[in-house]
Structure 1
C-alpha cells in the first residue's frame, strides 16, 4: 500500500523478526491499490531568475526599477533567499549543467494562494519559472515473509541479481558513499552503524568547522526539521529498511548484507518529526551531491506532473556533481509517469517478484529503465539494534540498484554517472518472455538487474539522446501542428562505428515525416546533433483525443556491431485550448471561456504576448450577467479561488481550412440553467470564434466573436457581456494605467511612466459598449476592490455601469485591470445575438488606435454577414474553376469581390439585374467573398475558387 505524506504508517499487521525466525503468525493482508500523489506545500514558493539577471543570487534592490522587487513587496512575499546558497557553480564548458544559484525561495502570507503567487512572479518577466514546492510519499508495501518460498538464507534477491558472484569481482569501497534520501536511520543498528559515512571535519561541538553552512552535520542532516539529527521518526522505519538493502554491513556475522557491500551510506532525513517540519527531499539531493555522494537513492515519489525546479535539482546532482540518481518507479499498477523516477538523468527501477515476473502492483511505463526484485525483501528493521523484516515495494527494488551502482563506481573509477547508468541498463537480463511480463515488454525497462554482468561485460555499447529541442517550443501541440525536432546524441560506452537514430511515433495521432539521423562513428563520450536536418513530425488534423499523450521512440542502432537500444519521449497533444499565433499578438483561447490560461493559477495555455514578449495577461475571461444577479464566468471570485460556471460543449480548436482569416478558432460552451442553480446562473449557450490575420495592417489584433443563445424560457432583459482583463505589461506590472477611447470603443492599459507597450480590448459589434477600469490596489470602501477577491456583486457592477468608470491609475500607475463589455436590451427564449471584440497590442498608442481602426473595418467587411432583407440571389457553380454566374433581382446592383483578407479585387455594376457573369480566373485558388448590394438590401456569399 502506498503511504501517506510525511509519515510512514504500517497498514498491515506487521512484526519485527529475527533473521533466523519467521513466525507463522506473520500474515499480511492484500495491499490496497492507490496512487501516490505529490501535494503542494502551502506558504512557500520557489522561483528561478532568468540567466541574464544582473544579480543572480539575490533579488534586485531598487523597487522603482525592479518589477520583481515591487511585486514581492506588493504581495507581502517575505524572507526571499537563495534556495541553495552553498551549491557549487557550474562550469560554462559543462554541457547540460544548471546553475542552482539562480533559484530563490520565499514565504507567502496565509491569504495568498501559491498558484497566484507563481503567476504574479512570472508576470514580472524576471523569472524563468515560479513553482510550488511539493511533498512526496514513500513507496512501501508490507509483505508476508512466508509468501516467499524461494528465499535463500533470507535474501533470495542477492542470488537473483547475481550479487554473490559479483562480490568476487568488486566489493565496493568505503570511499564510495550512497546518499539515502529518506526517513532517517537508526544510528546504532548492528548492521548499519559501521556503514554510516560520518563527517569528521565537523564533529559535534556547536561549531560549523567545515564552513559548509551546516552546524555539527557529523552523521548527516535532517532537512525536514532542519537539525543535525538524521535519526528516524518513531513512526517510520522506511529509511532504515532502504539503507539495509543498499548498504548493510557484510561479514559481521550479523543480519544481512547490503548489495553495496563495503560502500557506506549517508542518512539524510526528509520527513518531519515535528508539526513545523516540511518535506525536504530535493534540498537533501543537493546536499548529498555537494557532500560527495556518488550514488543517491530516492525511494519515494508520486504522480502529478513535472516540475522544472525538481528537474533542475536532479540535473545538478547528475550532471554538475556526477552522481548516479536512482529512484523507485512506483507501486501503482498503471502506465504513468511517476516523479522523480521519470525525470531525465534518473535510473527508474520497477518491482519484480522472486520469479522475475512483474509485481502485480508495480508501475510500468516507457520511462522505466530496469527492474529489480521488490517482493519479500529481507532487510534491517530498526525498532531495536538487531531486528530484521521482510518488506516489499519499489522502495526496496531501487536501493538494490543503488548498491550495484556503488560497486560499479569502485570498479570503473573513470566512468562518469551517465556511463555507470548506461552500463547497468545494458547488462540486465531480458525477462520479457516470462508469462507475467510479455504484456509489459518495453515498459518494465531493459530487464532484471544483473550485477555480475554489469561488472564484467566491458565491451557494451550504449548511446543516448541527451538533449532535445522541439520547435515551435510549446507545452502541448494542437491538431495540424508540425514540429521540428533536433536531438543531440552522445555515445557513453564503447565506440560505435555506424550509429543511426530513427524516431518512430507509437501514437496514431503523430506522423513522422522525416525520422532518420545517420550519426556515423562516435568515440566514447563524443556527441553529434542533427541540427542541419531535424526530424519532422506532424500532428493529425482530426480525431486526436483531448489532452492526449503521444510516445516517440528513438531507436539507436549500429548495424555493424548489432547494437540496438530504445529510448522514449512523451509529447502532449490537443490541449483544452487553442493558440492563435500567426501575427504579432499571440492569444490563447480556452474551451471554457478564459483567455491566456485555462483558469486562475493554471499553466495550461500560452498566455497573451506581443512580438515574443513575456505574458501580458495575468487573467482574462468571459463574463455574462443579468441585472437580477444571475452570473456566469470562470474568473476569480471572492473565495480565494475561481468560478467554474462555463463548461465546454465543443472544445476550442483551430480550423484546418479557415474561410475568413489566416487562422480561425471555434468552440462552444455554456452554463447551467437557472432552475438547477437556484437562479444564480444565466442559462446561455455561447459559440466562440476567433480570427487572426498575418498581413499588415492586421497583425496587431485578434477578433473574438461570441454568439449567445438563450436556453431559458424567460426573456433576458437586459443581458450584459464583457471581457475581464487583468493586464500586466512589461516593466512594472503594478504601474499600469487604464483608459478609454470612446470614439473607438477601445479600453486599453499602458505604463504611464515608461510606455513601451499598449494592450486592450475593443468592442466591435453587438449592443451598447461599456467599460469599467479597476484599480486592483484600491483601498477598502472602494466600489470594486480586488484585494479581497472579485465578488458577484462587483462583477455585475463592472458590467452594468456603462462608461462611468473609464480610467484607473492615471498619472502614476497602479495594478490595473479592465472590463470591456456590451449591454443588449433583450434576448428572447431560443433567440441568438452576436457580440464581437478585438484584443489588441501595439508599441504605441497611435499604432494601437490604427490597429483598432483596422479591426473595425475588417470586421464589417469580412466577418459581418447581415442581410437587411433576404435577396433573391443565385450564384453558381460554387466551387468554380473561374467562371461564375449570378442571378440578381430586378434593379441596379453593385457586386464586389473581396479576398479572404478583405482586399477589394473587383467591382461590377449591373444596371438592371438579371443574369451577370464574373470571371475569377485571374485570381489564385482560394476562398473569396462576393458582396451584392441593391436598394432592397445586401448579402455576402462565400465562393471557393478551385485550380
Structure 2
C-alpha cells in the first residue's frame, strides 16, 4: 500500500498462499505462512556512526557469542553487504547492512532462538523467514462464463486504454521491470530478447562487475543462487512466464500478444527453488532488483497474515533508498483482508476486475487497495512451448503486471517523479468503478478505480495530498479501552500544488471516537510538508472495545478546484494482552492463557522482565488436564505447532479502579469442547485475575495470578490438574540454567548455574496438592520429557500429575536449558462448580530475596486478599487470641495437617513446627516476638488454612 505510513497493524487473518483452493476465513485465521526451518533474520540495534554502518562490536560481544554457541547456531552472516545506505537527510530510509542471517539446528524451537538472541541486547528484532506463495490459478478456459467471448483476445488492453497510451509513449529499453516469480521461458517467441542483459558480466565464470554474482548476464535465480532463471517443471512453474507476458511481451513483432509495457525490458528473478537446498527468496529478489537498475518491480505472490518488520525493511530500502516502484497483487480471496507484501508501506496494491469492470471473482478487496486492473480471462504467454499462449488465467497475479508496466511508462514520461509521485499519478488518473451497481458495496475498497494508462501519461494537472507520517502519544503500537490518544500527522502534496486544503479525520469503528477532527492545511507546493503539531487530532477508545479490534480511520482531503480524496489507516485496539508494570517485575498476560507472549504470535506481548532488564521467559502459560488425552493449553505441541485450545470470551484488560493492587487485570477464556469424539480438551472456563504492586517495597518483585476454573462439562472432572508451564531463560547463559523446588514454600525456581545474577520462579499459593516437574529441554531422545522434539499432551500431563518427584533439572557442571511445570491437583470438580488456583510469579537478585518474596506473596494472599472460608475455619481454633506467649492450635476434623507456620507482617517465617499424622492439637510458643499482628498457617496436603493472631506485651 502506498504512500508510506507507519501502520499499526495487528495480524487478524493468518493464512497460507491463496493459490490453493479457496478456504474459509476462519480456516485462514488458524494458519500462519510457512517458515524456513533453522533460519532467522536479525537486525542490529546500534549504528557505529551517523552514517548508520552497523557496529561489528555487537557481533563479537560475549553474550552473543555465548548464545550462538548454546544454540548451536552459526555466526551471523551479513545478508545485504552491498546495500545502499540512506541518503543524507533521508529520514525514512533503512540500512540493510544491519540485517544478518543466522542458521541454527532445525530441531530447536524458533521461540527459544528468538528469546536467547534478543537477550543478548544486540538485536532490534529476530524473525523467521516466511515462505510466500505464488498467486496462481490453473489454465481452465471454461471455468468462467465470460471467457468464451474473449478467448484468444487481449480485451484488457482496451479496458486500460493501452492503445491510446502508446500514442504518448511506448516505453524503451532503459525502463526495466523486475519480474520476481517462478522463472521464465527465455525462448518464447514473445519474450525472447526482452530480458534485460547485463553486458558488464558476460558468462565467463568471473564476477566481472564485482556485484557478488558470477555471470548474472540475464537475471538471477535467487532461490538456488545460480545464474539460470529458467523455470523448472515444478508445481506452478509457468506462473512467471504468464506474468512476464502481460507486462513485457514483444509488441509489433507480428506474433502473439502485445505486452502492456511495449518496449520496456524485464529482469527475470527466480524466487522459487528447484533444488533441495534452495528456498523461497522473494525478499532477496527485491534487494537484487533495487540494486540492479529496476525502475519497477512486480510481485505476484504473497500470503494472508505474517506481517514482518524484516520484510517491511526490505521494501522500505527498495522504495526509499533506491527509488524503485513496487507493485503487488492484493490477493485472490473474496474478502476484506490484509495481504502481504501488498499491504506493506511503499507498495502499490492492485485488485482485479472482470471484462466488464466489475470486481473480479474471488478477488480480495480492502481500504488499502490503491487501484484495480483486469484479472479475468487474461491472454498471455505460456510456458508450454515457444509459441504457446494461455487465454484462461485469472487472478490479481495478472492485474499487478499491467500496473507495473503502466508504472514503467509513467517513469519514462515523468522522469522527475519519485516512487510516491508515480503511485499518485496512477491513482489520480483511474476510471471510477463505483458507478457500476455490483461494485457499490465495495466503495473505497477497490482503490481509486480501474487503471487508465492513457490518462496517466496525458494528464499533468493532477493533485494528491497524503499523510506520510503519523505520531501517536502515547507512542504505542496498540491502545487499550478508555485510552485517549493524541495523533500528529505530516501531510505532503505529491503532484501539483494544493491550496485551501482541509484534512478531516473520521473513525469507521464504533469503538473509536475522534475529537478535534479537522486540520486546515496551509498551501502546499509540490512535495511540501505540513503538520498539525500545534493542534493534534484526539482519539478516544471506548471502554467497551472487544479484544483484537482493528479500527479504520479515514483522512478526507478537500482542496481547491474540486479536489477530494481519501486515505485510510488501521490502528489496533485492545490487542488481547496487557502488561502489568507496577513494581520491579513486569509481566504480559494474554487473553487466552499465555504469559509473556501470545504463543501463536510472539509480537503480541512484552515478555517477563525484572527491573526493566532483558526478557527472562521464552514461553509460558496455563495448562489444564484431566488425563493424558484431555489437555488444554496454548503451548507448542508434538508437531512443533501451537495448540490453540483456549479461546478468549472476554479480553484481558487493566482494571480502571483496582482494589487490592496498584495494577490489576482480569479476563475470561475457555476451552470449549469439540462436537467430535474423542474429546481432547479438559472442559473448563477460566476467569483470570492478576495483581501487581508499586508499594510496599516487599511486594514489588512478585505478581499474583489467580485462575478460577469452572467445569463446563456435564460430568465430574476427577481429578483435575491445573498448572503453569514456564520456560525460563536466565542470563548470562540461558543454556546453563538450573531448576529447583522449595517444598516449604511450594516454589519452583530457576537461575543460571555458574554465575547466578537473577532468580525467577513461581509459587503455588492456592489450589490443592502441588506438583512440580523440572525438565531439561534438550534431554536425550528417550527421556520421559524432551521439549526439543515436540511437547506432547502426554508429556504435559506427566509434568502436571506426577507430584514433586522430579524436583531438579540442569544440575550438572554446566547447567542446561530448563523449563518446569508447577501445578495443583483438584480431587474433583462437579459440573458447574468452580475452584480457585493461584500462583505468584517472582523474580529477585538473590535466592534469599526470592524466598522472602514467595513467603510475602503467600502471606498477602492468605491473610489479606482472600477471606477465610467459613466451612474450613469453623472447625479449627487458635486461642487465646490475643496472646502474650502460648498459642493453642486445634486441627479441624479430617484435615491432614503437615506443619504449622507463623509469619510476620512482611512474610518472614518466625516460628514453625511439624505435625504428625494423628495429631489433633499443638502448642506454639510466641513469647519473644514483637507485639503486632502475625499470620498462622496450617499447611496440609490438599489445602492451607490461615488465621491472624495478635501478639501483645507479656
Structure 1 pair 675/682, CA: closer, same or farther in 2 (3 Å)? farther
What corresponds to 1:228 in structure 2? Answer: 227
Secondary structure of 1:723's counterpart equals: strand
Structure 1 residue corresponding to 2:80, chosen from 62, 81, 84: 84
What corresponds to 1:302 in structure 2? Answer: 303
- 1:842 is displaced (CA, Å) by 4.6
Secondary structure of 2:446's counterpart equals: coil
What corresponds to 1:928 in structure 2? Answer: none
Of the structure 1 ranges 655-664 and 157-166, higher mean CA displacement relative to structure 2 is found in 655-664
Structure 1 pair 366/584, CA: closer, same or farther in 2 (3 Å)? farther
> For the Cα contact (< 8 Å) 1:738–1:816, is it kept in 2?
yes
- The alignment status of 1:94 with 2:94, answered yes or no, reads no
- 1:402 is displaced (CA, Å) by 1.2
> For the Cα contact (< 8 Å) 1:721–1:799, is it kept in 2?
no
Q: TM-score, normalised by structure 2?
A: 0.79
Residues 239-258 of structure 1 deviation map (CA, whole Å, 9 limit, x = unaligned) = 22222222223333333322
Residues 372-413 of structure 1 deviation map (CA, whole Å, 9 limit, x = unaligned) = 122333333343333434243222211111111111111211
Structure 1 pair 833/88, CA: closer, same or farther in 2 (3 Å)? same
- Distance in 2, Cα, partners of 1:117 & 1:630: 30
Secondary structure of 1:521's counterpart equals: coil
- 1:218 is displaced (CA, Å) by 0.7
Structure 1 residue corresponding to 2:127, chosen from 122, 127, 130: 130
- The alignment status of 1:437 with 2:419, answered yes or no, reads no
- 1:450 is displaced (CA, Å) by 1.7
Structure 1 pair 705/429, CA: closer, same or farther in 2 (3 Å)? same
- Distance in 1, Cα, partners of 2:585 & 2:516: 31
Secondary structure of 2:295's counterpart equals: strand
What corresponds to 1:879 in structure 2? Answer: none
What corresponds to 1:598 in structure 2? Answer: 598
- The alignment status of 1:40 with 2:55, answered yes or no, reads no
- 1:786 is displaced (CA, Å) by 4.1
- The alignment status of 1:50 with 2:44, answered yes or no, reads yes
- Distance in 2, Cα, partners of 1:335 & 1:675: 30
Structure 1 pair 785/263, CA: closer, same or farther in 2 (3 Å)? closer
What corresponds to 1:492 in structure 2? Answer: 494
What corresponds to 2:723 in structure 1? Answer: 722
What corresponds to 1:170 in structure 2? Answer: 169
- Distance in 2, Cα, partners of 1:823 & 1:229: 63
- Distance in 1, Cα, partners of 2:857 & 2:563: 60
- Distance in 2, Cα, partners of 1:432 & 1:121: 50
- 1:533 is displaced (CA, Å) by 4.7
- Distance in 1, Cα, partners of 2:230 & 2:18: 14
Of the structure 1 ranges 813-822 and 393-402, higher mean CA displacement relative to structure 2 is found in 813-822
- The alignment status of 1:216 with 2:230, answered yes or no, reads no
Of the structure 1 ranges 804-813 and 521-530, higher mean CA displacement relative to structure 2 is found in 804-813
> For the Cα contact (< 8 Å) 1:5–1:137, is it kept in 2?
no
Residues 313-355 of structure 1 deviation map (CA, whole Å, 9 limit, x = unaligned) = 2111111111010111222221111221111111111112232
Residues 226-251 of structure 1 deviation map (CA, whole Å, 9 limit, x = unaligned) = 22122233463322222222222333
- Distance in 1, Cα, partners of 2:624 & 2:456: 65
Extract unaligned runs of 5+ from structure 2: 1-14, 875-880, 883-904, 907-944, 949-954
- 1:424 is displaced (CA, Å) by 1.0
What corresponds to 1:616 in structure 2? Answer: 616
Of the structure 1 ranges 202-211 and 620-629, higher mean CA displacement relative to structure 2 is found in 620-629
- Distance in 1, Cα, partners of 2:489 & 2:549: 23
What corresponds to 2:195 in structure 1? Answer: 196
- Distance in 1, Cα, partners of 2:637 & 2:108: 14
Structure 1 pair 867/72, CA: closer, same or farther in 2 (3 Å)? same
**In the comparison of the two structures, how many residue pairs are matched?**
856
Structure 1 pair 589/39, CA: closer, same or farther in 2 (3 Å)? closer
- The alignment status of 1:556 with 2:552, answered yes or no, reads no
Residues 698-757 of structure 1 deviation map (CA, whole Å, 9 limit, x = unaligned) = 443321112345678998788654322211235432244445666655444344666554
What corresponds to 1:565 in structure 2? Answer: 565
> For the Cα contact (< 8 Å) 1:46–1:103, is it kept in 2?
no
Residues 876-895 of structure 1 deviation map (CA, whole Å, 9 limit, x = unaligned) = xxxxxxxxxxxxxxxx99xx
- 1:589 is displaced (CA, Å) by 2.5
Map 1:496-515; keep pairs closer than 5 Å: 496-515=498-517
- 1:297 is displaced (CA, Å) by 0.8
Residues 246-304 of structure 1 deviation map (CA, whole Å, 9 limit, x = unaligned) = 22233333333222222211111223344544322221111111100010011222323
What corresponds to 1:416 in structure 2? Answer: 418
What corresponds to 2:911 in structure 1? Answer: none
Structure 1 pair 632/159, CA: closer, same or farther in 2 (3 Å)? closer
RMSD: 4.3
Q: TM-score, normalised by structure 1?
A: 0.80
- Distance in 2, Cα, partners of 1:32 & 1:749: 44
- Distance in 2, Cα, partners of 1:844 & 1:524: 62
- Distance in 2, Cα, partners of 1:218 & 1:703: 64
What corresponds to 2:894 in structure 1? Answer: none
- Distance in 1, Cα, partners of 2:557 & 2:88: 29
Structure 1 pair 677/188, CA: closer, same or farther in 2 (3 Å)? closer
- Distance in 2, Cα, partners of 1:109 & 1:402: 40
Map 1:183-582; keep pairs closer than 5 Å: 183-234=182-233, 236-390=237-391, 391-472=393-474, 476-531=478-533, 533-542=535-544, 544-558=545-559, 560-582=560-582
